[in-house]
Amino acid sequence: MEEQKDVLGRLEAAVEKKLQELGGVNSRLQRKIFDLHAIFEITRQLNSILELEKLLDAILLVASEQAGSATAAMVITSSNPEELSFWRSRGLISVENLPPLSGNSHLAETLLRKKRGITLSELEQILPADSKEVCFLKSLRLELCFPLTSREKIIGILFLGPRSSKGKYQALDLEFLSTLVNNLAVTVENARLYQSIKTANLEVQRAQVQLAEKEKLAALGELAASLAHEINNPLGIIKNYLALLQQESHKNQSSLEYIEIIKDELRRVANIIQELLNLYQPQKKEEFKPTDVVSVLHESLDLLESDLEERHITLERKIDGSASVISAREEELKQVFLNLLMNSRDFTPPGGKINVSLIQRNGNLEIEFSDSGIGIPESDLKKIFVPFFTTKEKGKGTGLGLSICRRIIQEHQGNIEARNLKGGGASFLIRLPLN
């Protein structure tokens, strides 16, 4: 009897132990089901974000909240697939200017091999204590690293700081976060693919616009050449007969004056035709070559400085003499600078001032011509670069100079804009890319 009780007691204890084990397994399964559901919901929501920067910021927010950490950082591959260089962070000082991490670094290779998150203490056991990766993590107080992989290659690394509660990360935390990050790697790849498709579509649209513009210019070039031919023929005949009239009318002073007026107008028509051809008809151009824009600008200003002095107009130069060499056509740039300077001169009264400046800003050379003249009527600002539009008096401008300037600057991958100054006068700003 006692023996039976002993056996039953052992059976009850064994059953109790098994029930406890099953309870523990059930709890872990419940936790895993809950975690997987949470991962599914998080991934589903983040999959709807297609803008890469917004997606990375959202991943940092979700990961840090799930981990209970106030700080997080992330780096992914950019243009070079072998280099992790595109940084984002949350709760840290700006990491956007941090140096890139090599895709072949010890940290990247360790994460790729383990295919899961690792702690700083674990990394210290694998890598030398003075390794760059360990020192980097310590400097930013980051404790966890997770790999984002695609096709057996590392495309990014997620870093997490210490828990806000100062508790340690547990094995289940690492398992959950590793699974989450593995799923989000696909989301990041989708966003990058969307970004590349979007960029490609923009390039196609830009190419289509350029092609349409070229076709339009080609058609206008043919029209300009045809018009020039048709107009030049009668102009030649008129010039010949004017020469004969001049010979016969040398005694009649008033006739000679009329003939001179007609000749001036004919020259003006010829100039308009030539500028029309220059604007729309493709010309054989010099090659782009390294050009010192500062030197070209000074040369252009020197050519008109004495003329400005005679008109009692002050020319002030504020030109940054540092590196300003770009790939350009020197003569065309000089043509633009002279045209803008003469334009400022024509609208600046005696005693006025013209300011010319050159600075480097945001990867561009910015060249500005500003004057103290009457400015440009607001209604004319949008039309100022339209061919044949001019604000000058009749007979003093063809309206093609600024159109040619804009075409030249656009061919140099730059842009030009006009605006009025608050204190009076107008400004023309050119931006030319340094690269």
Query: Do 51 and 174 reside in the same domain of the chain?
Result: yes
Query: Do 190 and 122 reside in the same domain of the chain?
Result: yes
Domain-located, residue 109: yes
Distance CA 244, CA 254 (A): 16
Listed residue (293, 304, 414, 285) closest to 362, CA to CA: 414
Distance CA 117, CA 134 (A): 15
DSSP letters along 49-73, please? --SHHHHHHHHHHHHHHHHTBS-EE
Q: Give me the pLDDT at residue 275, please.
A: 65
Query: Do 293 and 418 reside in the same domain of the chain?
Result: yes
Residue 20 burial (CB count, 10 A): 10
Query: Do 311 and 421 reside in the same domain of the chain?
Result: yes
Mean pLDDT, the chain, whole residue set? 79
Query: Do 151 and 39 reside in the same domain of the chain?
Result: yes
Instruction: Give the helix/strand (H/E) hosting 343.
Output: helix 330-347
Distance CA 137, CA 120 (A): 8
Domain-located, residue 208: no
Domain-located, residue 406: yes
CATH of the domain at 109: 3.30.450.40
Do 371 and 419 form a contact (C-beta atoms < 8 A)? no
Residue 127 burial (CB count, 10 A): 16
Domain-located, residue 5: no
Query: Do 101 and 190 reside in the same domain of the chain?
Result: yes
Q: Per-residue pLDDT tens for 50-97?
A: 888 888 888 888 888 888 888 888 888 876 777 777 888 888 766 666
Do 359 and 348 form a contact (C-beta atoms < 8 A)? no
Residue 394 or residue 264, greater confidence: 264
Query: Do 276 and 302 reside in the same domain of the chain?
Result: no
Domain boundary among 260, 280, 300: 280
Distance CA 403, CA 394 (A): 18
Query: Do 260 and 306 reside in the same domain of the chain?
Result: no
Residue 326 or residue 129, greater confidence: 326
Domain boundary among 230, 261, 280: 280
Query: Do 339 and 386 reside in the same domain of the chain?
Result: yes
Residue 51 or residue 294, greater confidence: 294
Query: Do 414 and 384 reside in the same domain of the chain?
Result: yes
Q: Per-residue pLDDT for 194 more than 60? A: yes
Q: Per-residue pLDDT tens for 304-322?
A: 888 899 899 999 999 887 7
Reported confidence tier of residue 121, pLDDT bands at 50, 70, 90: confident
What is the span of the domain harbouring residue 346?
Answer: 289-433
Reported confidence tier of residue 269, pLDDT bands at 50, 70, 90: confident
Distance CA 410, CA 141 (A): 48
Reported confidence tier of residue 211, pLDDT bands at 50, 70, 90: low
Q: Give me the pLDDT at residue 204, please.
A: 78
* Owner of token pair 């828990």: 163
Q: Give me the pLDDT at residue 217, please.
A: 64
Per the structure, how many domains does the chain have? 3
Crossing angle (nearest 10°) for helices 171-248 and 52-67:
160
Q: Give me the pLDDT at residue 297, please.
A: 93
Domain-located, residue 155: yes
Q: pTM of the predicted model, to two decimals?
A: 0.48
Query: Do 248 and 358 reside in the same domain of the chain?
Result: no
Crossing angle (nearest 10°) for helices 293-310 and 330-347:
30
Query: Do 166 and 246 reside in the same domain of the chain?
Result: no
Domain boundary among 280, 301, 325: 280
Q: Per-residue pLDDT tens for 170-184?
A: 888 888 888 888 888
Q: Per-residue pLDDT for 32 more than 70? A: no
Domain-located, residue 313: yes
CATH of the domain at 295: 3.30.565.10
Reported confidence tier of residue 237, pLDDT bands at 50, 70, 90: low
Domain-located, residue 204: no
Residue 190 or residue 259, greater confidence: 190
Q: Give me the pLDDT at residue 296, please.
A: 92
Residue 22 or residue 274, greater confidence: 274
